[in-house]
A = this chain, B = another copy of it.
Amino acid sequence: MIRVGIVGGTGYTGVELLRLLAQHPEVQVAAITSRGDAGVPVAEMFPSLRRRVRLKFEDPAQANLRACDVVFFATPNGVAMEQAPALLDAGVRVIDLAADFRLTDLDEWSRWYGLPHASPEWAARAVYGLPECNRAAIRNARLVANPGCYPTAVQLGFMPLLEQGSVDCDDLVADAKSGVSGAGRKAEVASLFSEAADNFKAYAVPGHRHLPEICQGLSRIAGSSVGLTFVPHLTPMIRGIHATLYARVKRETDFQTLFEQRYRDEPFVDVLPPGSHPDTRSVRAANVCRIALHRPGQGRVLVILSVIDNLVKGAAGQAVQNMNIMFGLRETEGLWQIAVLP
């Protein structure tokens, strides 16, 4: 059994981690911390976990996280870079679900997150946890930077094209739509039901924090820098991301086959048959990315539709997938739930 700790378990990625880990046959959740809710039983805050999670939130200062094999940080940006190094130095492996270790250019990190980085050494050693392009490095990683939700959907959608060099990398467009849980369990007016329901809007068009992460990832995949226009939107659903990707074809190939072959052995990427339109609900509560390709009017623009559950393949599920890889488990262990539809 792997002894797991969770730092910051009161948000949506925290409760989703608990849902997955409590059902994982090789895991024992040993501790979960929350500064504000220390002493509260987890199942009191999240009654969905009654009878299944008997832990209480512990004060971070008290919790014996060093006795864990791996610690997940499900904290706001800026916490893991402060607290993870001590654990790492003590030999505990760490998976950070926040953004602290995702960017290699720390000046850029500081520009977007408004802080100096507290741990450049560990930022340099962190492995970007997108298994579909980084599996080998993850295996031995001590610190995994779990990708953001938008970056996961967008990178998986563009990846085969950029690896092959078959599209023009200067003018990529990613028009992405997210459910409201992506904003987290924070009391903010913009995320109220009465603001977000029966409504649709773009946000952060001048610049979203996931933009540098996506550009870094796509550039790495392409082997050269890419030009991307990224527009995120808020859609009135709880979970789910739908990325609609546009790329101009530079070199013809059989794109459907390209995608099918690229992802043939991936347990968590599903390329749909030609003509498909993936629903976000087809991945609800499941660790899957479903992708479909279109070539409208047989023109030069390729349209890729890529959907994930932002809390699973876009956060907690991918984190558990990374843990499975790091500890030599079957990659699908504890992650084989079927999507909940309807």
Contacts and interface: CB of A to CB of B under 8 A. Distances in A.
Interface of A: 12, 15, 19, 22-23, 46-52, 171, 173, 175, 177, 179-181, 183, 185-189, 191-203, 205-207, 227, 229-231, 233, 235-240, 242, 244, 246, 248, 270, 272, 275-286, 290, 294, 296-297, 299, 301, 303, 305, 307, 311, 336-342
B282 A285 contact: no
A200 B23 contact: no
Contact of A231 (B191, B205, B282, B303): B303
Given A171-B248, A197-B198, A290 B47 contact: yes
A244 B296 CA distance: 18
A296 B51 contact: no
Nearest to A297: B207
A112 to B, nearest CB: 13
A12 B342 contact: yes
B194 A278 contact: no
A236 B235 contact: yes
B282 A244 contact: no
Q: Which of A48, A177, A179, A242 has the most CB of B within 10 A?
A: A48
B275 A238 contact: no
Contacts of A19: 338, 340-341
A199 B284 CA distance: 9
Contacts of A277: 201-203, 205
Sort A-B residue pairs by CB-CB distance and give the 7 closest, nearest first: A48-B339, A48-B341, A193-B196, A175-B175, A180-B193, A187-B187, A199-B281
Contacts of A246: 173, 175, 229, 246
A72 to B, nearest CB: 17
A194 B193 CA distance: 7
B279 A200 contact: yes
A341 B15 contact: yes
B194 A185 contact: yes
B270 A51 contact: yes
Given A198-B238, A238-B197, A338-B52, A231 B207 contact: no
Contacts of A194: 12, 179-181, 183, 185, 191, 238, 342
B198 A338 contact: no
B278 A237 contact: no
Contacts of A205: 277, 294, 296, 303, 305
Given A173-B173, A192-B191, A233-B177, A202 B336 contact: no
A133 to B, nearest CB: 21
Contacts of A185: 189, 192, 194-195, 342
A285 B238 CA distance: 15
Q: Which of A173, A340, A342 has the most CB of B within 10 A?
A: A342
Nearest to A51: B270
Given A207-B297, A338-B23, A280 B199 contact: yes
Given A177-B177, A248-B171, A199 B279 contact: yes
A208 to B, nearest CB: 9
B231 A296 contact: yes
